[in-house]
Amino acid sequence: MIDLHTHSLFSDGELLPSELIRRAKVIGINVLAITDHVDFSNYLFVIEHIKAVAAHFSLKKNGIKVLTGVEITHVPPGDIPRLIELSRKAGAGVVVIHGETIVEPVEPKTNLAGIEGGADIIAHPGFISVKEAERAAKNNVFLEISGRGGHSFSNGYVAMIAKQTGAGLVFDSDAHADRDLMDYTYALNVVRGAGLKEKDFIKMIENSKKIANGEGL
Protein backbone atom coordinates (compact mmCIF):
# COMPACT_ATOMS: atom_id res chain seq x y z
CA MET A 1 0.00 0.00 0.00
CA ILE A 2 1.26 3.47 -0.95
CA ASP A 3 0.01 6.82 0.34
CA LEU A 4 1.54 9.94 -1.21
CA HIS A 5 -0.56 12.65 0.45
CA THR A 6 -0.43 13.00 4.25
CA HIS A 7 0.14 15.74 6.80
CA SER A 8 2.07 16.10 10.05
CA LEU A 9 2.08 18.84 12.67
CA PHE A 10 4.43 20.78 10.41
CA SER A 11 1.21 22.04 8.83
CA ASP A 12 -2.33 21.15 9.92
CA GLY A 13 -1.81 17.51 10.88
CA GLU A 14 -2.01 16.21 14.45
CA LEU A 15 1.01 13.89 14.63
CA LEU A 16 4.77 14.13 14.69
CA PRO A 17 6.18 12.72 11.46
CA SER A 18 7.56 9.70 13.32
CA GLU A 19 4.13 8.96 14.82
CA LEU A 20 2.50 9.25 11.43
CA ILE A 21 5.09 6.91 9.92
CA ARG A 22 4.70 4.32 12.66
CA ARG A 23 0.91 4.25 12.45
CA ALA A 24 1.06 4.01 8.67
CA LYS A 25 3.43 1.06 8.84
CA VAL A 26 1.23 -0.82 11.29
CA ILE A 27 -1.76 -0.77 8.91
CA GLY A 28 0.27 -2.00 5.94
CA ILE A 29 1.53 1.13 4.21
CA ASN A 30 5.07 0.54 2.96
CA VAL A 31 5.60 3.81 1.07
CA LEU A 32 4.51 7.08 2.68
CA ALA A 33 4.98 10.65 1.51
CA ILE A 34 4.59 13.41 4.07
CA THR A 35 3.27 16.38 2.11
CA ASP A 36 2.61 19.26 4.45
CA HIS A 37 0.98 22.45 3.18
CA VAL A 38 3.45 24.98 1.81
CA ASP A 39 3.68 28.34 0.15
CA PHE A 40 6.72 30.57 -0.40
CA SER A 41 6.93 31.36 3.32
CA ASN A 42 7.57 27.85 4.64
CA TYR A 43 8.52 25.41 1.88
CA LEU A 44 12.19 25.34 2.90
CA PHE A 45 11.31 24.74 6.55
CA VAL A 46 8.94 21.88 5.76
CA ILE A 47 11.25 20.16 3.29
CA GLU A 48 14.26 20.44 5.58
CA HIS A 49 12.45 18.94 8.56
CA ILE A 50 10.71 16.13 6.69
CA LYS A 51 14.02 15.23 5.02
CA ALA A 52 15.59 14.93 8.47
CA VAL A 53 12.95 12.41 9.54
CA ALA A 54 12.95 10.51 6.26
CA ALA A 55 16.71 10.01 6.51
CA HIS A 56 16.16 7.77 9.55
CA PHE A 57 13.81 5.38 7.76
CA SER A 58 14.53 2.87 5.04
CA LEU A 59 12.38 0.14 3.54
CA LYS A 60 15.05 -2.47 4.27
CA LYS A 61 15.57 -1.57 7.95
CA ASN A 62 12.17 -0.23 8.98
CA GLY A 63 9.71 -1.81 6.56
CA ILE A 64 8.52 1.57 5.26
CA LYS A 65 9.94 4.03 2.76
CA VAL A 66 9.37 7.67 3.68
CA LEU A 67 9.36 10.35 1.00
CA THR A 68 9.76 14.08 1.48
CA GLY A 69 6.92 15.95 -0.14
CA VAL A 70 4.92 19.15 -0.20
CA GLU A 71 1.34 20.14 -0.92
CA ILE A 72 1.36 23.56 -2.56
CA THR A 73 -1.74 25.16 -1.12
CA HIS A 74 -3.72 28.29 -2.08
CA VAL A 75 -0.78 29.77 -3.97
CA PRO A 76 -1.81 32.08 -6.84
CA PRO A 77 -1.81 30.01 -10.04
CA GLY A 78 0.77 32.21 -11.73
CA ASP A 79 3.25 31.45 -8.95
CA ILE A 80 2.69 27.69 -8.75
CA PRO A 81 5.18 26.59 -11.45
CA ARG A 82 7.96 28.54 -9.75
CA LEU A 83 7.19 27.03 -6.34
CA ILE A 84 7.14 23.54 -7.87
CA GLU A 85 10.60 24.20 -9.27
CA LEU A 86 11.93 25.60 -5.98
CA SER A 87 10.45 22.71 -3.98
CA ARG A 88 12.10 20.13 -6.19
CA LYS A 89 15.44 21.92 -5.97
CA ALA A 90 15.11 21.95 -2.16
CA GLY A 91 14.59 18.18 -2.10
CA ALA A 92 10.88 17.46 -2.41
CA GLY A 93 10.48 14.05 -3.99
CA VAL A 94 6.70 14.34 -4.28
CA VAL A 95 4.93 17.56 -5.26
CA VAL A 96 1.17 17.67 -4.71
CA ILE A 97 -1.05 20.59 -5.69
CA HIS A 98 -4.03 21.48 -3.48
CA GLY A 99 -6.51 21.26 -6.30
CA GLU A 100 -9.85 22.93 -6.95
CA THR A 101 -11.88 21.00 -4.40
CA ILE A 102 -15.58 21.80 -4.27
CA VAL A 103 -15.45 22.46 -0.51
CA GLU A 104 -12.89 25.31 -0.47
CA PRO A 105 -12.53 28.58 -2.40
CA VAL A 106 -9.50 27.49 -4.41
CA GLU A 107 -8.57 29.98 -7.11
CA PRO A 108 -9.60 28.96 -10.64
CA LYS A 109 -6.80 27.67 -12.89
CA THR A 110 -4.97 26.15 -9.92
CA ASN A 111 -5.38 22.66 -11.41
CA LEU A 112 -4.03 23.81 -14.77
CA ALA A 113 -1.07 25.63 -13.18
CA GLY A 114 -0.07 22.45 -11.36
CA ILE A 115 -0.41 20.40 -14.52
CA GLU A 116 1.58 22.83 -16.65
CA GLY A 117 4.14 23.29 -13.90
CA GLY A 118 4.93 19.58 -13.70
CA ALA A 119 3.53 18.57 -10.32
CA ASP A 120 3.16 14.87 -9.57
CA ILE A 121 -0.42 14.89 -8.28
CA ILE A 122 -3.39 17.22 -8.45
CA ALA A 123 -5.11 16.47 -5.17
CA HIS A 124 -8.92 16.52 -5.00
CA PRO A 125 -9.21 18.34 -8.36
CA GLY A 126 -12.96 18.90 -8.08
CA PHE A 127 -14.74 19.52 -11.37
CA ILE A 128 -11.58 19.47 -13.45
CA SER A 129 -12.31 20.17 -17.10
CA VAL A 130 -11.88 17.67 -19.91
CA LYS A 131 -9.16 19.82 -21.47
CA GLU A 132 -7.26 20.01 -18.18
CA ALA A 133 -7.55 16.25 -17.68
CA GLU A 134 -6.33 15.66 -21.23
CA ARG A 135 -3.37 17.91 -20.50
CA ALA A 136 -2.68 15.99 -17.29
CA ALA A 137 -2.67 12.75 -19.28
CA LYS A 138 -0.22 14.23 -21.78
CA ASN A 139 2.08 15.55 -19.03
CA ASN A 140 1.87 12.39 -16.88
CA VAL A 141 0.40 14.35 -13.98
CA PHE A 142 -1.90 12.18 -11.89
CA LEU A 143 -5.35 13.05 -10.57
CA GLU A 144 -6.26 12.03 -7.05
CA ILE A 145 -9.14 9.97 -5.79
CA SER A 146 -9.31 11.34 -2.26
CA GLY A 147 -10.01 9.61 1.00
CA ARG A 148 -10.55 12.93 2.75
CA GLY A 149 -14.01 13.95 3.93
CA GLY A 150 -15.50 16.68 1.78
CA HIS A 151 -12.74 16.48 -0.81
CA SER A 152 -14.01 13.03 -1.71
CA PHE A 153 -17.44 14.35 -2.75
CA SER A 154 -16.27 14.77 -6.35
CA ASN A 155 -14.42 11.44 -6.60
CA GLY A 156 -17.04 9.99 -8.93
CA TYR A 157 -16.68 12.91 -11.32
CA VAL A 158 -12.87 12.69 -11.25
CA ALA A 159 -13.03 8.96 -11.97
CA MET A 160 -15.39 9.58 -14.91
CA ILE A 161 -13.20 12.31 -16.42
CA ALA A 162 -10.09 10.17 -16.02
CA LYS A 163 -11.75 7.29 -17.86
CA GLN A 164 -12.85 9.66 -20.61
CA THR A 165 -9.47 11.33 -21.13
CA GLY A 166 -6.94 8.66 -20.17
CA ALA A 167 -5.63 10.70 -17.23
CA GLY A 168 -3.84 8.61 -14.65
CA LEU A 169 -5.31 8.23 -11.17
CA VAL A 170 -3.81 7.71 -7.73
CA PHE A 171 -5.49 7.12 -4.40
CA ASP A 172 -4.35 9.03 -1.30
CA SER A 173 -5.81 9.36 2.17
CA ASP A 174 -4.93 13.04 2.71
CA ALA A 175 -4.53 11.96 6.32
CA HIS A 176 -4.27 14.64 9.00
CA ALA A 177 -4.51 12.23 11.96
CA ASP A 178 -4.06 8.54 12.67
CA ARG A 179 -7.78 7.89 12.21
CA ASP A 180 -7.54 9.18 8.62
CA LEU A 181 -4.99 6.63 7.45
CA MET A 182 -6.46 3.84 5.34
CA ASP A 183 -5.46 0.23 4.85
CA TYR A 184 -5.97 -1.58 1.55
CA THR A 185 -9.54 -2.69 2.25
CA TYR A 186 -10.74 0.73 3.43
CA ALA A 187 -9.08 2.49 0.51
CA LEU A 188 -10.57 -0.02 -1.95
CA ASN A 189 -14.05 0.69 -0.61
CA VAL A 190 -13.56 4.43 -1.21
CA VAL A 191 -12.38 3.67 -4.74
CA ARG A 192 -15.38 1.43 -5.34
CA GLY A 193 -17.62 4.21 -4.06
CA ALA A 194 -16.30 6.34 -6.92
CA GLY A 195 -17.59 3.76 -9.39
CA LEU A 196 -14.25 2.07 -9.97
CA LYS A 197 -13.13 -1.54 -9.58
CA GLU A 198 -10.30 -3.30 -7.78
CA LYS A 199 -8.33 -3.54 -11.03
CA ASP A 200 -8.49 0.27 -11.20
CA PHE A 201 -7.24 0.50 -7.64
CA ILE A 202 -4.33 -1.80 -8.42
CA LYS A 203 -3.46 0.47 -11.36
CA MET A 204 -3.58 3.47 -9.00
CA ILE A 205 -1.06 1.78 -6.73
CA GLU A 206 1.17 1.14 -9.75
CA ASN A 207 0.91 4.83 -10.65
CA SER A 208 1.85 5.82 -7.11
CA LYS A 209 4.83 3.49 -7.32
CA LYS A 210 5.98 5.30 -10.47
CA ILE A 211 5.87 8.61 -8.61
CA ALA A 212 7.67 7.15 -5.60
CA ASN A 213 10.40 5.83 -7.90
CA GLY A 214 10.76 9.13 -9.71
CA GLU A 215 9.09 7.88 -12.87
CA GLY A 216 6.00 10.09 -12.75
CA LEU A 217 7.21 12.63 -15.29
CATH number at residue 50: 3.20.20.140
When divided into structural domains, the chain yields a total of: 1
Is pTM beyond 0.85 here? Answer: yes
Closest alpha carbon to 173 in 159, 161, 160, 191: 191
Asked whether residue 84 is assigned to any structural domain, the reply reads: yes
Asked whether residue 139 is assigned to any structural domain, the reply reads: yes
Asked whether residue 176 is assigned to any structural domain, the reply reads: yes
Distance CA 212, CA 172 (A): 13
Are 115 and 135 in contact by the 8 Å Cβ rule? The answer is: yes
Asked whether residue 213 is assigned to any structural domain, the reply reads: no
Q: Is the pLDDT of residue 7 over 80?
A: yes
Average pLDDT value for residue range 149-175: 98
Domain, as residue range, for 168: 2-208
Average pLDDT value for residue range 105-114: 98
Asked whether residue 214 is assigned to any structural domain, the reply reads: no
Asked whether residue 73 is assigned to any structural domain, the reply reads: yes
Asked whether residue 215 is assigned to any structural domain, the reply reads: no
Closest alpha carbon to 174 in 128, 137, 215, 121: 121
Closest alpha carbon to 141 in 121, 111, 126: 121
User: Quick check: helix, strand or coil at residue 213?
Assistant: coil
Confidence of residue 61 (pLDDT cuts 50, 70, 90): confident
Confidence of residue 78 (pLDDT cuts 50, 70, 90): very high
